[in-house]
Amino acid sequence: MTWAWLGLALLLTGTTADTLWHQAYGFPSDEGIPYPHGISAAGLLLSLFACFRMASRSSGSRRGGWVAGCILLMIGLVGSLWDNLLYHTRGIYGAPIQEIPHTMEAAGGLGWLVLLIVITVLRVTGRSKHRGEDTVSSRRNEQMNRSSSPTAD
């Protein structure tokens, strides 16, 4: 779960840095792919790796959330590759369909953010609901209650 949040932090950092980069230097970027795009792509890949890992370790209904996360991240990754490899490396700016990959990146990233928050909240509330059911102290208390209760002979 930590890797998923770290990937999301990288993704959001790269996206913020990209916005600031383009405000400062404008469009197009002379060096091809601006470095904030690399940070965003690293965040997408780390999140996707963490999501696949959590999906493979989960079972039942918990796996569904992670699989949905993988799908959202793959949509974002396709948008990122489309934007960087087809537009930035070739210097194509202002194409009529240029907003499609940006929309894919945004939808994948925002969907991942919302889904990761929901998964985290469900995990935290699920843990607190079952807290103390099978711990050493709960077993000790159960044994003490059994030994102190009167038995019928």
Q: Evaluate whether residue 17 is within a structural domain.
A: yes
Cβ burial of 69 (10 Å; 0-12, 13-18, 19+) is buried
In a domain, 107, yes or no: yes
33-70 residue pLDDT tens: 778 888 998 999 999 999 889 888 887 777 888 888 88
Residue 134 belongs to some domain of the structure: no
Distance CA(135)–CA(151), nearest Å, equals: 26
Query: Of 53, 69, 46, nearest to 116 (Cα)?
Result: 69
**Is 65 among the domain residues?**
yes
Instruction: Give the pLDDT score at 31.
Output: 67
Answer whether residue 150 is part of any domain: no
In the chain, count H helices and then E strands.
5, 0
Domains held by the chain: number: 1
Domain range holding 79? 2-128
pLDDT digits (tens, 9 = 90+) for 76-105: 888 888 887 777 766 666 666 777 887 888
Tell whether 83 is covered by a domain: yes
Asked whether residue 152 is domain-assigned, the answer is: no
pLDDT of residue 102: 79
